[in-house]
Amino acid sequence: MKPEDRKRLLAELESLLEKSVSETEAFTHTPIRRMNRFQYNNAVIDLFDLNCNVFTLPERMMREHKGYFRPETGEMAGTVHVGSRPLGKSQMIEPRLAGVAAFPQDLRAEHGYDNQADHLSLSPLLMEEFLELGQSITQSKDFSPKNVGIWESFFLAPNSGVDLKAELKKRLQPFLTRAFRRPVEEPTLERYAGYLFQQIESGEDFTTAMKTVAAAAISSPRFLYLYDKTGGVEGAQPLDDFELASRLSFFLWGSLPDEALLDLAAEGKLKEPDVLSSEIDRMLKDKKLKRFCDSFPAQWLQLERIISSVPDPEEFPNFYFSKYRDSMHMMLEPLLLFETVLIENQPITQFIDSDFTYRSGLLEEAYGELKTEIDPAKMEGAGINKGGVAALRFDRVPVTDRRNGGLITNAAVMTMTSGPERTQPITRGAWLATVIFNNPPKPPPADVPPLGEKPAEGEEHLTLRERLSQHRERADCKGCHEQIDPLGFALENYDPIGNWRKKYENERDVDMEGTLFRKHAFNDVADFKDAILAEKDRFARGLAGHLMSFALAREIGPADQRALDEIAEATAEDQYRIQTLLKNVIMSEPFLTKTSSGKEGAVASIQQGRVSDPTLLESVSQSDK
C-alpha cells in the first residue's frame, strides 16, 4: 500500500472511531470487584493507623531500608539500601500482626495487572476467609496500643459518666465513614451503635466489643468491594466526589482515601479542576506513594519473570555468586530508576535512555564491559540491616555509555527474556511491543515448532537471525514477525544475562541492524534508542494506556483512545514529565467518568443496605439486611 493511501485509510478509520464513540458516549464498564490483598493490607493499616503490616506480601519485589523514599523532597538519595524478596526468608522479617495469615496472592491478569476487576471475584470460600481474617486481625496479640494508632480514640474505654450511646456514635461515625469511603448512613450507624450498646450493657468489655465491631466493619461488602454508585442507570455519568476520592487513592496509594480527600468530597469540591490538581500534587509528595511504586512498575515491566530465569550454570557461572543470584540485584536497578524518575518528576524518556542508574557493587561487577563510573570504594555487596535482614547498597552513578541506562537494555530485562543458553529475540521483541508501545502481538499459532536452545545439526554456522528465518516464512507468522523482529534483534548484542557481546560462539558477528516502524533505521543500540525516542509520543501514549488500565482496573477500550491522544499531547507539552503524565491520566474523561452495564443489582443492594455485613456478629448482620 502506498504511503498516501495508508494515511487516507487511517484518517477514515479514525473518523469512524470518533463517530462511534460520540454516539455511544460510554466507556468500558468496570465491574464491581473486591480489593486485592495488597490493597486490603494497605487499607487495614490506614484504617487503624497501624505501625506494622497486617501480613507479609511476598509480591513486593523491593524492600525499603533506612527510609530512603522521601517524595516530599523531590530528590532521590544518592545511596539507598534496599532488599529483594527473592534474596531469602530474611526479607520476610518485618513487623506484622502475629497470627494473621494472608489470603492467596492475586496474580497479574494476562491483559494487565493484579487489580483488574474481572479477576477479583469473591467466592463463598474466600468470603469465609475474609470473615476469619477480620477477626484474626483484631484478636492478634499485636493488635494493641503499641501498634494501633487509633487505640485511644476508638478502642479505649471512655470515662465513667459519659452518655454511652452518644459516645459510641461519636466514635463510629468517622471510623465507618473512613472504612466505607463515604458518609455512613444514619440507619447503619444506629445498627452498629445499637449492637455495641447492647453488648456493653450486657457486661461485655468495652475494648473487646469495639474490636468485634471493627472486625465486622473490615468484613463488610462496603469495605471489601470497590465499585461506582451507578444506581442501575445505564450510560456514562460523572463520578461523584466520594467515588473520585476512592478511585484516586486506590490508584496512587493503593488504599483508602485519607481524611483530607473525604472532607473535600463531603464539601463537593474535589471535582473542581484546581482542587483536584492540588490534591494530586499533595498525594505525589506523600510517602504512601511508595505503594504505587511497589505495585505498578514491577507489573508493568513484568519483572516477576526473572524469578524463574535459570541461565545455564556452566555457561554463565558468574550469574550465580555467593548465596545470592545475580538476578536479585538485577531486578532492583529498574525499580530504583522508576522511583527516581517519579520522585524527581523527570521525563519518561529516561526509561528509554537514562543518564544515570543505580548499581550495587556486585551488580557492577556482573555487567563486565558495561561498567559505569561507580567509585570502587563504594562497591559493596550484601549488607546486614538491623534484625539480620539482608540489605543491599545501591549507589547512583552517571551513565556515559549509551549501551547502559534506561529500562530496555537493563540486565534484568535481558535475562528474563532469554532462555537458559541463548537469547530469545522474539520474546524480547514481544516484551518491547507490549511494555514500551502497549501493542502486544498476537499469540503464535499452536503448530509453530519452538526453536531449540542449541543449533540443530548442520546449523552450527548460522546466526540466530538466520535460524529464526523459518518462522517468518509462514504467512500466518509474517505480520507479527515484521512487528517484533526488529525490536528483538536490536538487543542481540546483550547475551542471556545482559553482558555485551559482538560475536556468537561460532565467531559469527552479531547482526542487530534493523528498521523501527519501517522508517527509523538503526545500526547499533544507540541508534535504536534514538529511533524509539523519535517515537516518544507513541511511547508516552502507550505508557498512558498502561497507567489508565491500572487506574481503572480494566482493559482499555475504543472509547479511551481519544483521551490517550490528549494525555500524550499534554505530556509532550511539558517535556514528557512523568507527574504531568500521571496528572493528565487522572484529569482525563475516562478517569472522571463511570459507566453502568445495566446489571448493577449487586451494587445497588450494597448501596441500599440489602446485602448484610458478612460478620459473625449475628445481631449486626441480621439487622443490616
Per-residue pLDDT of 231-242, as tens digits, reads: 566 778 899 999
pTM summary value: 0.91
Q: Does residue 3 register a pLDDT over 50?
A: yes
Q: How much of the chain, in percent, has pLDDT values that exceed 90?
A: 63
- For residue 43, which amino acid is it? A
Report the pLDDT value the prediction gives residue 328, as an integer from 0 to 100.
Answer: 78
Query: How far is CA 244 from each of CA 429, 548, 564, 591, 598, rounded to the nearest angstrom?
Result: 37, 14, 19, 8, 21
Q: Where are the beta strands (DSSP E) in 412-545?
A: 514-516, 520-522
DSSP 94: S
Query: At 412, is the pLDDT very low, low, confident or very high (cuts 50, 70, 90)?
Result: very high
pLDDT per residue over 338-352, tens digit each? 999 999 999 999 999
66 and 200 belong to one structural domain = no
Q: What is the mean pLDDT of residues 357-370?
A: 88
pLDDT per residue over 508-557, tens digit each? 999 999 999 989 999 999 999 999 999 999 999 999 999 999 999 999 99
- As beta bridge partners, residue 382 has 392
Domain that holds residue 409: 57-93+291-413
Q: What is the mean pLDDT of residues 97-110?
A: 88
111 and 219 belong to one structural domain = yes
Q: Is residue 5 part of a domain?
A: no
Report the pLDDT value the prediction gives residue 376, as an integer from 0 to 100.
Answer: 57
CA atoms within a 13 Å half-sphere pointing along the CA-CB vector of 184: 25
For 305-316, letters b (16+ CB in 10 Å) and e give: bbbebebeeeeb
Are 101 and 139 in contact by the 8 Å Cβ rule? The answer is no
313 and 183 belong to one structural domain = no
Classify the phi-psi angles of 401: left when phi > 0, otherwise alpha if psi is within -120 to 50, otherwise beta: beta
Q: What is the mean pLDDT of residues 29-37?
A: 92
What helix, strand, coil percent values describe the chain, rounded to 5? 50, 10, 40
101: nearest Cα among 78, 75, 123, 133:
133
211 and 198 belong to one structural domain = yes
User: Helices 206-217 and 186-201: crossing angle, nearest 10°?
Assistant: 150
pLDDT per residue over 551-581, tens digit each? 999 999 999 999 999 999 999 999 999 999 9
Classify the phi-psi angles of 203: left when phi > 0, otherwise alpha if psi is within -120 to 50, otherwise beta: left
Q: Is residue 159 part of a domain?
A: yes
Q: Is residue 255 part of a domain?
A: no
pLDDT per residue over 442-483, tens digit each? 877 666 666 666 777 777 777 888 777 765 665 556 667 778
Report the pLDDT value the prediction gives residue 161, as an integer from 0 to 100.
Answer: 87
Among the three residues 534, 555, 590, which one is the final residue of a domain in this structure?
Answer: 534
Report the pLDDT value the prediction gives residue 375, as an integer from 0 to 100.
Answer: 64
Q: Which H or E run includes 466? A: helix 464-467
146 and 207 belong to one structural domain = yes
C-alpha 43/C-alpha 507 separation (Å) is 57
Burial of 346 (0-12, 13-18, 19+ CB in 10 A): buried
65 and 131 belong to one structural domain = no
195 and 215 belong to one structural domain = yes
C-alpha 484/C-alpha 233 separation (Å) is 43
Q: What is the mean pLDDT of residues 315-335?
A: 77
Q: Is residue 267 part of a domain?
A: no
Residue listed under C-alpha cell 515484521? 482
Q: Is the dihedral of CA 596, 597, 599, 602 positive or negative?
A: negative
106 and 182 belong to one structural domain = yes
72 and 132 belong to one structural domain = no
177-183-184 Cα angle (round to 5): 75
Report the pLDDT value the prediction gives residue 165, as an integer from 0 to 100.
Answer: 94
pLDDT per residue over 423-449, tens digit each? 999 999 999 999 999 999 887 766 666
Q: Is residue 85 part of a domain?
A: yes
Q: Does residue 587 register a pLDDT over 80?
A: yes
Q: What is the dihedral of CA 478, 483, 488, 489, to 10 degrees?
A: 70
Q: What is the mean pLDDT of residues 211-218?
A: 96
C-alpha 495/C-alpha 367 separation (Å) is 11
pLDDT per residue over 157-177, tens digit each? 999 889 999 999 999 999 999
- For residue 433, which amino acid is it? A
340 and 371 belong to one structural domain = yes
Mean per-residue pLDDT over the chain, rounded = 87
Q: Is residue 540 part of a domain?
A: no
Q: Is residue 64 part of a domain?
A: yes
Neighbour count for residue 20 (Cβ, 10 Å):
11
Residue of 277 and 598 predicted with greater confidence: 277
Q: Does residue 23 register a pLDDT over 70?
A: no
Q: What is the mean pLDDT of residues 5-28?
A: 72
User: Helices 578-586 and 273-284: crossing angle, nearest 10°?
Assistant: 130
358 and 481 belong to one structural domain = no
Q: Is residue 475 part of a domain?
A: yes
Report the pLDDT value the prediction gives residue 229, as an integer from 0 to 100.
Answer: 79
Query: How far is CA 461 from each of CA 31, 208, 501, 504, rounded to the nearest angstrom?
Result: 55, 76, 17, 10
Which SS3 state, helix, strand or coil, does residue 500 take? strand
Report the pLDDT value the prediction gives residue 378, as an integer from 0 to 100.
Answer: 57
* Residue 339 φ/ψ, nearest 5 degrees: -60, -40
74 and 145 belong to one structural domain = no
Domain total of the chain: 3
Report the pLDDT value the prediction gives residue 574, as an integer from 0 to 100.
Answer: 98
C-alpha 545/C-alpha 437 separation (Å) is 9
Query: At 607, is the pLDDT very low, low, confident or very high (cuts 50, 70, 90)?
Result: very low
Q: Which H or E run includes 397? A: strand 390-398
